[in-house]
């Protein structure tokens, strides 16, 4: 279909590009004139394609169409006008001229909020839903028939920018293309707009954007965010007009701060370390992060009382030369200003937000090595202040302030441990935006260790933004891979230097026996970072010459990865999931388990000491239902790794698919079978069989959830296991002689007791244990059930605790026990004990599990891939294959004058059992 595109901006550019990809012919582009010698993005791409471009300043004069403009339009012969973002008034004889008329995009679910500021009013009015309409243009004010509409939920702290970037922009482009295709196929509806619920609000201007403080707090919050960033809601504070940006509702306790007088309200505001706190007449509070003065200068609200001028720098000759080069850049942008002097104000001289981007990028290009952000321009609006800021940045004097940490300290395990407890976002520890906290508890005695920041959706969004900015504009993704590896080696060294402190924190927060925490929880974490640090300069970007054209393999995701880790191995799971991600050059946002956040936050402190750039690693403690769900839904996260239960894994996978089809790796539940044949080494089978169940208190994803013991040795095996259990010391996990520590948290302990009660009701034989230990804390006795039949709950469901579930199988019935072992929806790990190598190979090749242990158990290694099948999830941790989950392979097909070559890439993963041949009879 022949299309005329009437509009402008990046939105118009994307619609144009996608329509051409769909095979439509754009016969003319009608956009706005160049501004300061710079063409609109739509004009730029159209001119590059050779599409006729028209840049009319206006289409009408005094309400009447300009004949020559209308004739130039008609000459292109369009069958449909597509108006993706149009700021000009288009005459009706142009609207109605094409065979199919005109369609236009509008950022509102019409008829709600007709008018040019519709998206602002969606927020100002506190609507729970936002969206857009594509309608058939008419001579009314957005009153034409509807073609299609899309909607999304409005989140509590959404602004115009977040709504636009998350939904209105990407989904609007797709919808415009969809609408054109519906018209081309003759399937486009024309649904008349109802007048019921219709409204028309005018364009919001600064003059009527003053905040009425005599309202409920949520109404005030909606008004502020509805004006962020344009035109900006304002109040009078201490007699000064201040514009407010980045508002959020404060649901936690009100922080302490210095009072300020706010016009129109009796209760003063507060300047706290988190920002400006304002109160509505209902006594509730909101928080504002940034303030802008009337001269255009913007500051963090927390620095309202400390915004005094710093001493002016004397510039060197080289710095003066750079300043003059920057003056030329300012002059190129502010072409209407005759002379750029020290007092020239960037914004008062007419600069807009696009000019901010241009200034930052041109200065970066001209003065390489100096990292500027758009926000820097708002913080230094005059030429003199900009140069002073630039020179400080150049000299390194304007570096990030030294990391400030509000530790919780405890004297424990013959040392003083220092534990961060706040969210870690963009290189800083800070309270959750709404100030909420929760208790993390020591399972040894049930005491509260400290209050930890409880991250909100807004905190997750800030963490994702920081991670995306760190990749897009920071040094991490652009860094030489060998330098990235050096930083990860440094991080591993620091973890080793602090290993006793990390193990102690792990012990008091998760209940892990200290010696195990030191060797495995922390020790393997260090090994993992060292292993993947070595991979940094070995992940290849390959170039293969084919005739005169190259074939490239692109390695990095180039975006944000998210990680959700469990509570059984808090630090080790962090290492398994994050080390490969970081080695590949990606950035990450990580949610530790809600009940065990402290080693992750201590790890965050060590990343700063290791020199990992800010924003590369962000840690947001909180609930899975809030923080984890937002990660699954977030459109800027492109890969998510999760270890946890199968039901939650299914929910995450569903959310990831619906949000943006992000890649997912899942390590989920298990019911790993361990088969013990009568020809085994009995001593080893007893020792390793107990380890397979009771290792880490049974809180182990690959724990042997069900033992199958050959009938002829069954009774002897059980007798010896019970003898060994009675020798185990249950007690304080910091005691070096303790064998068995507390379960991780009270709710889990209660589930374990219930699990055992179900086993008793099912008439399985409770040989030993099944009870909570009568002492402070969350202790569960090592437990043994026998006579467990296949239909029983405890035969099918994972306990995730110190419960040995044993079933007999008939002597010599190898295939029968294999069938029973595989009769499960899980497939994470398995094991077999026998001296017969042929039997070992036969069984291990037929066990449906990601790992098969032979005459051993729990022997994982950082170089060996780890993962499961069926409802135990998919994707691998560790080993070389883990790198593939953080890389993209791009295939290129080339057709040259010499030949046609098709390249096909196939990745085949062969499952091999992890085996120990020790003790096998050859």
- pLDDT at 367 (0 to 100): 77
| Amino acid 914: pLDDT | 38
The CA distance from 195 to 760, in Å, is 67
CA distances to 377, 409, 531, 682, 903 from 708, rounded to whole Å, are: 69, 47, 36, 14, 48
The response to whether 628 counts as a known ligand-binding position is yes
Token match 């002829």: residue? 712
pTM, two decimals, is: 0.60
Whether residue 607 contacts residue 491, with contact meaning beta carbons closer than 8 Å, is answered with yes
| Residues ≥6 apart with Cβ < 8 Å to 313 | 388, 391, 392
The Cα-based distances of 604 to 235, 594, 599, 610 in angstroms read 38, 16, 9, 10
- Beta strands (DSSP E) in 367-463 are 408-412, 415-419, 423-425, 428-430, 437-441, 448-453
DSSP 140-168: SSS-SPEEEEEEEEPPTT--HHHHIIIII
Q: Is 798 annotated as a binding residue?
A: yes
CA atoms of 787 and 724, how far apart (whole Å)? 20
Binding site annotation covers 89? yes
> What are the structure tokens assigned to 212, written together?
């009425």
Closest residue by Cα to residue 769 from 829, 842, 718, 834 = 718
Q: Is 624 annotated as a binding residue?
A: yes
The DSSP bridge partners found for residue 229 are: none
Question: In the 8-state DSSP scheme, what is residue 271?
Answer: E
- Rounded distance, CA 471 to CA 559, Å? 7
User: What domains are defined for the chain?
Assistant: 2-185 (3.40.50.170), 206-303 (3.10.25.10), 317-395 (1.10.1200.10), 407-663 (3.40.605.10), 673-870 (3.40.309.10)
Cα–Cα distance for residue pair 436/626, rounded to 1 Å: 13
- On whether the CB atoms of residues 560 and 467 are closer than 8 A, the answer is yes
Helix residue ranges, H only, 247-382? 317-333, 353-366, 374-379
883 known member of a binding site: no
Return the ∠ at Cα 865 (arms to 864 and 868), rounded to 5°: 135
Which residue, among 240, 208, 221, has the nearest Cα to 282 in the 3D structure?
221
Instruction: Render 640-684 in DSSP notation, one character per residue.
Output: EEEES-HHHHHHHHHHHHHHH--EEEEE----EEEEE-TTS-HHH
Residue 909 has what pLDDT?
29
**What per-residue confidence (pLDDT) applies to 679?**
95
Confirm whether residue 142 is marked as ligand binding.
yes
Has 299 been labeled as part of a binding site? no
> Per the annotation, does 627 bind a ligand?
yes
**And the tokens for 861?**
């290694």
Rg (CA), the chain: 32
pLDDT of 899: 29
Determine contact, residues 836/814, Cβ cutoff 8 Å: no
10-residue averages of pLDDT along the chain (922 residues): 92 93 94 81 92 93 91 95 89 93 93 84 91 90 91 87 85 95 95 85 77 92 86 90 88 82 89 89 89 79 70 80 90 87 84 77 77 72 86 69 82 94 94 92 96 94 90 75 87 94 96 95 95 81 39 50 95 94 92 97 94 93 94 92 92 91 90 96 96 96 96 97 96 94 95 96 96 94 97 95 97 96 94 95 94 93 89 85 49 33 27 36 35
According to DSSP, the β-strands at 560-564 and 258-260 are unpaired
> pLDDT at position 130, please?
92
Is 330 annotated as a binding-site member?
Answer: no
127 CB burial (10 A radius; 0-12, 13-18, 19+): middle
- 799 is known to lie in a ligand binding site: yes
- The answer to whether 811 is annotated as binding is no
Report whether 428 contacts 403 (CB < 8 A): yes
CA distances, 601 to each of 359, 418, 519, 594, 687 (Å): 37, 11, 20, 12, 36
Catalytically active residues are 106, 667, 701
CA distances from 855 to 252, 464, 565, 816, 834 (A): 54, 45, 30, 20, 7
Q: What is the pLDDT of residue 904?
A: 27
258 is in an annotated binding site: no
Question: Tell me, what's the pLDDT at 555?
Answer: 41
The CA distances from residue 570 to 28, 524, 640, 645, in Å, are 59, 12, 17, 15
For position 9, what pLDDT does the model report? Answer: 87
């Amino acid at each position: 279909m022949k299309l005329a595109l009437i509009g402008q901006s990046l939105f118009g550019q994307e619609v144009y590009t996608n329509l051409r990809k769909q095979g439509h012919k754009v016969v003319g582009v009608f956009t706005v004139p160049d501004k300061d010698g710079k063409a609109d993005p739509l004009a730029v791409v159209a001119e590059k394609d050779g599409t006729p471009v028209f840049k009319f300043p206006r289409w009408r004069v005094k309400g009447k169409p300009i004949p020559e403009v209308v004739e130039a339009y008609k000459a292109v012969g369009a069958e449909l006008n597509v108006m993706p973002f149009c700021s000009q008034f288009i005459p009706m004889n142009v609207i109605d001229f094409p065979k199919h008329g005109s369609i236009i995009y509008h950022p509102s679910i019409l008829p709600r909020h007709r008018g040019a500021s519709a998206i602002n009013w969606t927020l100002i009015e506190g609507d729970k839903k936002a969206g857009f309409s594509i309608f058939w243009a008419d001579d009314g004010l957005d009153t034409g028939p509807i073609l299609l509409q899309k909607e999304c939920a409005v989140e509590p702290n959404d602004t115009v920018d977040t709504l636009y970037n998350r939904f209105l922009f990407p989904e609007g482009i797709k919808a415009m293309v969809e609408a054109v295709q519906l018209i081309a196929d003759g399937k486009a509806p024309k649904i008349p707009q109802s007048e019921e619920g219709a409204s028309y609000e005018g364009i919001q201007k600064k003059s009527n954007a003053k905040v009425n403080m005599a309202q409920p707090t949520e109404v005030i919050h909606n008004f502020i965010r509805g004006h962020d960033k344009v035109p900006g809601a304002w109040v009078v504070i201490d007699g000064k007009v201040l514009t407010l940006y980045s508002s959020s509702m404060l649901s936690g306790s009100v922080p302490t701060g210095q009072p300020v007088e706010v016009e129109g309200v009796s209760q003063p505001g507060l300047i706290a370390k988190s920002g400006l706190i304002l109160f509505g007449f209902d006594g509730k509070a909101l928080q504002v992060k940034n303030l802008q003065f009337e001269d255009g200068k913007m500051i963090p609200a927390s620095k309202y009382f400390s915004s005094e001028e710093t001493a002016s720098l004397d510039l060197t000759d080289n710095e003066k030369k750079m300043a003059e080069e920057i003056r030329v850049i300012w002059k190129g942008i502010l072409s209407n200003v005759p002379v750029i002097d020290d007092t020239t104000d960037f914004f008062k001289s007419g600069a807009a937000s696009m000019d901010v981007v241009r200034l930052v990028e041109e200065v970066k290009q001209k003065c390489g090595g100096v990292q500027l952000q758009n926000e820097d321009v708002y913080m230094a609006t005059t030429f003199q202040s900009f140069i002073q800021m630039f020179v400080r940045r150049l000299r390194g004097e304007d570096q990030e302030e030294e990391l400030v940490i509000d530790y919780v300290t405890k004297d424990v395990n013959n040392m003083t441990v220092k534990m961060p407890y706040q969210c870690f976002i963009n290189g800083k520890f800070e309270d959750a935006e709404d100030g909420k906290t929760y208790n993390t508890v020591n399972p040894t005695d049930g005491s509260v260790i400290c209050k930890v920041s409880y991250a909100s959706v807004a905190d997750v969004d800030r963490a994702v933004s920081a991670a995306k900015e760190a990749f897009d504009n920071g040094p991490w993704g652009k860094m030489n891979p060998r330098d990235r590896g050096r930083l990860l080696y440094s991080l591993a060294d620091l973890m080793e230097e602090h290993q006793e402190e990390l193990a102690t924190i792990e012990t008091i927060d998760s209940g892990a026996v200290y010696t195990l925490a030191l060797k495995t929880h922390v020790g393997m974490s260090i090994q993992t970072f060292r292993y993947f640090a070595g991979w940094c300069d070995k992940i290849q970007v390959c170039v293969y010459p084919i005739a005169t054209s190259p074939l490239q393999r692109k390695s990095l995701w180039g975006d944000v990865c998210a990680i959700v880790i469990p509570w059984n191995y808090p630090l080790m799971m962090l290492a398994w999931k994050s080390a490969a991600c970081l080695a590949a050059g990606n950035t990450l946002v990580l949610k530790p388990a809600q009940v065990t956040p402290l080693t992750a936050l201590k790890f965050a402190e060590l990343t700063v000491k290791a020199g990992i750039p800010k924003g590369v690693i962000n840690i947001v403690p909180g609930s899975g239902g809030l923080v984890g769900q937002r990660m699954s839904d977030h459109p800027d996260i492109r890969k998510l790794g999760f270890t946890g239960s199968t039901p939650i894994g299914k929910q995450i996978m569903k959310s990831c698919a619906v949000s943006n089809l992000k890649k997912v790796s899942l390590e989920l539940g298990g019911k790993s079978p361990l088969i013990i044949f009568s020809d085994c080494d009995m001593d080893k089978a007893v020792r390793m069989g107990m380890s397979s169940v009771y290792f880490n208190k049974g809180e182990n994803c690959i724990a042997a959830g069900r033992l199958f013991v050959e009938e002829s040795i069954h009774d002897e095996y059980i007798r010896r296991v019970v003898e060994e259990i009675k020798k185990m010391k249950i007690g304080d996990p910091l005691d070096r002689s303790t064998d068995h520590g507390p379960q991780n948290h009270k709710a889990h302990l209660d589930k374990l007791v219930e699990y055992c009660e179900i086993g008793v009701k099912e008439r399985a034989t409770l040989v030993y244990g099944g009870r909570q230990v009568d002492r402070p804390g969350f202790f569960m006795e090592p437990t043994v059930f026998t006579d467990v039949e296949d239909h029983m709950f405890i035969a099918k469901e994972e306990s995730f605790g110190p419960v040995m579930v044993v079933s007999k199988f008939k002597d010599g019935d190898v295939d029968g026990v294999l069938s029973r072992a595989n009769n499960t929806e899980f497939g994470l790990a398995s094991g077999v004990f026998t001296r017969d190598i042929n039997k070992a190979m036969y069984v291990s090749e037929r066990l449906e599990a990601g790992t098969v242990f032979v005459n051993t158990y729990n022997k994982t290694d950082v170089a060996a891939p780890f993962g499961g099948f069926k409802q135990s999830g998919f994707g691998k941790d560790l080993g070389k294959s883990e790198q593939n989950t953080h890389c993209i392979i791009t295939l290129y097909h080339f057709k040259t004058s010499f030949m046609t070559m098709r390249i096909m890439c196939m990745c085949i993963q062969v499952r091999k059992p992890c085996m120990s041949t020790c003790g096998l009879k050859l």
